[in-house]
Structure 1
């Protein structure tokens, strides 16, 4: 799998969109520095020196119908790479739909975007940001958001971002092979084994609606299944609060 290593870029997601039409296969785009990184729903993503920023560009075999499930593949790969770095004392979990937590705080986020290619084709860009060295302060976050943490702050361990890239790429390749060979079921089972607050009460906000209930599972489409006072509800997109 190709790797493009850049000293500085506006965002690896933007660079992915620029490079995608000319790529012959999957490629990682890594940057030592981003000047205009973004997260979900256009939110700013702070990426100070020493943190990890990369985007994987690929073309899902089943097209965009399969694309959303790659957030679970990416989350498992991130959790595995961080476990390799952090060792047995790193308490990691995955928050639906696409955040990785360390000791209960957010250490990494994932952003998926569809990229239009010539002749009606599409590619998928999977943006990944990891707080290896530093985390944004509490006042930079939304009021009810989980605290942000870093690998260095929680464990005292340090790893260079460019050294983290092959760890993540190897873990992603492992879970992607499972996904391609056996479908979503093994990915779903592995994800649920690492899911934060599974079986507990959570809050899901979808636009102007708020739903509270027990996080029961995720279904075959990756939707969150919430059981509350009004029964069982499948939620395909939401912000989750504990």
Structure 2
């Protein structure tokens, strides 16, 4: 992500940056992201031409591309699911995460989509928040070892397809595909924001990408939160 920010002003078009070793990995809200040897860390840099709210929906585009990349390298979709807002699960554990960062206010000058995948190893679970999902690796869960370069080829290919769909048809088809792969849809989950903690039935993701819960106090649309099962 730091390299993406450095080179973004010099780029004429989209570009992937693959980091074979990270010394300052980070996740959402500044959390540390541990990156053991053999795992995947890459960032896609884009120059989108949409309002910021539309640009932010590319987290769902990236999630679908990740799902397809796992299917490509393993040959199966069993055990894979997508966790709102930005994680990929394998057999119930977190195998990948997505982080979006942008430059610009009323317009987005560039968008960096950072993606981390536990290919070879899962980081230690000692620093997890209470209730957070355990990390897993592709190798430990499937017995399949994939190099970062091989995974990038599958991911970049899948992302290009979904990016074309998104820019041509908008969020609706992306949203439909994402919901078809969503973890815990129709089940009771917990969403923690900076100011509140809500429990309710995961009803849907709306047209703005918000998590929609059916709670005891009614239907609530949540733009950003940490979700616990």
TM-score by length of 2: 0.96
Residue from 219, 223, 226 that aligns with 1:232: 219
Alpha-carbon separation, structure 2, partners of 1:79 and 1:89 = 8
Residue from 33, 42, 50 that aligns with 1:62: 50
Deviation of the 1:140 alpha carbon: 2.8
Q: Conserved in 2, the CA contact under 8 Å of 1:63 and 1:122?
A: no
Alpha-carbon separation, structure 1, partners of 2:196 and 2:108 = 34
RMSD between superposed Cα atoms in Å: 1.4
Q: Conserved in 2, the CA contact under 8 Å of 1:86 and 1:151?
A: no
- Runs (4 or more) in structure 1 with deviation over 6 Å come to none
Q: Which has the higher contact order (CA 8 A, sep 6+)?
A: 2
Q: Indicate the SS of the match to 1:163.
A: helix
The match for 1:154 is 141
Residue from 66, 73, 79 that aligns with 2:61: 73
The match for 2:131 is 144
Alpha-carbon separation, structure 1, partners of 2:201 and 2:14 = 38
85-94 or 223-232, larger mean C-alpha shift: 85-94
Alpha-carbon separation, structure 1, partners of 2:116 and 2:110 = 20
Q: Indicate the SS of the match to 1:159.
A: coil
Does 2:180 correspond to 1:193? Answer: yes
Matches within 5 A, 1:31-42: 31-42=19-30
TM-score by length of 1: 0.91
Structure 1: unaligned runs, 5 residues or longer: 1-12
Matches within 5 A, 1:65-214: 65-88=53-76, 90-116=78-104, 122-214=109-201
Structure 2: unaligned runs, 5 residues or longer: none
